[in-house]
Amino acid sequence: MNPSQAHAYQDIRDGVRALCAQFSDEYHRKVDAARAYPEAFVDALTQAGWLAAMIPQEFGGSGLGLAEASVIMEEINRSGGNSGACHGQMYNMGTLLRHGSRAQKEIYLPKIASGELRLQSMGVTEPTTGTDTTRIKTVAVRKGERYVVNGQKVWISRVQHSDLMILLARTTPLAEVKKKSEGMSIFLVDLREAIGKGLTVRPIANMVNHETNELFFDNLEIPAENLIGEEGKGFRYILDGLNAERTLIAAECIGDGYWFIERVSKYAKERIVFDRPIGQNQGVQFPIAEAYIDVEAANLMRWRACELFDRQQPCGAEANMAKYLAANASWKAANVCLQYHGGFGFAAEYDIERKFRETRLYQVAPISTNLILSYVAEHILGMPRSF
Ligand X SMILES: Cc1cc2nc3c(=O)[nH]c(=O)nc-3n(C[C@H](O)[C@H](O)[C@H](O)COP(=O)(O)OP(=O)(O)OC[C@H]3O[C@@H](n4cnc5c(N)ncnc54)[C@H](O)[C@@H]3O)c2cc1C
Contact residues for ligand X (CB under 6 A)? 122-125, 130-131, 155-157, 206, 210, 212, 361, 364-368, 370-371, 374, 386-387
Q: Which is nearer to ligand X, 109 or 156 (CB)?
A: 156
Q: Which is nearer to ligand X, 118 or 341 (CB)?
A: 118
Residue 282 beta carbon to ligand X: minimum distance, rounded to whole angstroms: 35
Residue 260 beta carbon to ligand X: minimum distance, rounded to whole angstroms: 20
Residue 85 beta carbon to ligand X: minimum distance, rounded to whole angstroms: 12
Q: Which is nearer to ligand X, 153 or 341 (CB)?
A: 153
Q: Which is nearer to ligand X, 154 or 317 (CB)?
A: 154
Q: How far apart are CA 326 and CA 363, in angstroms?
A: 10
Q: Which is nearer to ligand X, 123 or 257 (CB)?
A: 123
Q: How far apart are CA 316 and CA 80, in angstroms?
A: 29
Q: Which is nearer to ligand X, 282 or 386 (CB)?
A: 386
SS3 202: strand
- Of all residues in the shown chain, the one whose CB is closest to ligand X is 130
Residue 15 beta carbon to ligand X: minimum distance, rounded to whole angstroms: 27
Residue in 154, 145, 165, 139 with CA at minimum distance from that of residue 219: 139
Q: Which residues contact 19 (CB under 8 A, 6 or more apart)?
A: 44, 45, 48, 50
Q: How far apart are CA 332 and CA 338, in angstroms?
A: 10
Q: How far apart are CA 305 and CA 38, in angstroms?
A: 29
Q: Which is nearer to ligand X, 219 or 370 (CB)?
A: 370
Q: How far apart are CA 30 and CA 89, in angstroms?
A: 24
Buried b (16+ CB within 10 A) or exposed e, 261-284: bebbbebbeebeeeeeebbeeeeb
CB 317 within 8 A of CB 323: no
Residue 88 beta carbon to ligand X: minimum distance, rounded to whole angstroms: 7
Residue 121 beta carbon to ligand X: minimum distance, rounded to whole angstroms: 6
Q: How far apart are CA 287 and CA 273, in angstroms?
A: 18
Residue 374 beta carbon to ligand X: minimum distance, rounded to whole angstroms: 6
Residue 362 beta carbon to ligand X: minimum distance, rounded to whole angstroms: 10
Where does residue 51 rank: exposed (0-12), middle (13-18), buried (19+ CB within 10 A)?
buried
Dihedral in degrees, nearest 10, Cα atoms 252, 254, 255, 259: 140
Residues in the chain: 387
Q: Which is nearer to ligand X, 134 or 368 (CB)?
A: 368
Residue in 237, 250, 196 with CA at minimum distance from that of residue 367: 250
